[in-house]
Amino acid sequence: MQSETKSRVDQLTSPAGHAVTVLRFEGDIASTSKDAVLGAYQTLPKATAKLILLDFTKVDYINSSGIALVIQLLIEASNSGQKVYAFGLSAHFTKVFTMVGITKYAQLFPSQTEALAAL
């Protein structure tokens, strides 16, 4: 019933010349998304992937279990000295992420262009 979560990784360079690892999600982010969210994150090389950008552009539905997975990702990233940013959330999920406090640990941007420009 829940649409499968897909994820893929892109390597980009910000206008300032920093290497940015983009983790792109597609589908629902719910309790069944552990492999697509945490699993995909855990494949990233911790020594070189220091700036991580989460792309929610193609995500329509995030529930509290999905938010918990994002928080787990943020915990692991924080423990590994990585910085996490996100873009592409709808206005509603931008509000929800702000309400639960995720924005204290992952700055949100409207678009990839704006996110990269800030990194």
Partner 1 sequence: MSEPKSTTVEVRLPSKMGFEKVAMSTAASVAKLMGFRDDRIEDLKTAIAEACINAIEHGNRLNEKLSVGVVLSAGPDQLEVKVIDDGKGMKTQPAKPDIDRKMHGEEDPRGMGMFLIQALVDEAEWVAGGDGKSSYVRLMIRLDKVVD
Binding site for partner 1 (CB under 8 A): 1-2, 30-32, 61, 63-65, 67-69, 71-72, 74-75, 78, 90-92, 96, 99-102, 104-105
- Angle of helix 64-79 relative to helix 91-100, nearest 10 degrees? 60
Least CB distance to partner 1 at residue 28 (A): 8
In the complex, least distance from residue 26 CB atom to partner 1, rounded to whole angstroms? 17
Closer Cβ to partner 1, 14 or 80, answer by number: 80
3 state SS of 87: strand
Q: Which residue number, 69 or 116, has a Cβ lying nearer to partner 1? A: 69
Distance CA 39, CA 41 (A): 5
Nearest distance in Å: CB 84, partner 1: 11
In this structure, are residues 12 and 116 in contact, taking their beta carbons and an 8 Å threshold?
yes
Residues in contact with 77: Cβ distance below 8 Å, sequence separation at least 6, in sequence order: 41, 52, 83, 84
**Sole residue written with tokens 């420009």:** 117
95: enclosing H helix or E strand: helix 91-100
User: Given the complex with partner 1, which of 49 and 84 has the nearer CB atom?
Assistant: 84
Q: How far is the CB of 3 from partner 1 (least distance, A)?
A: 9
Taking the least distance from each CB to partner 1, the nearer of 106 and 116 is 106
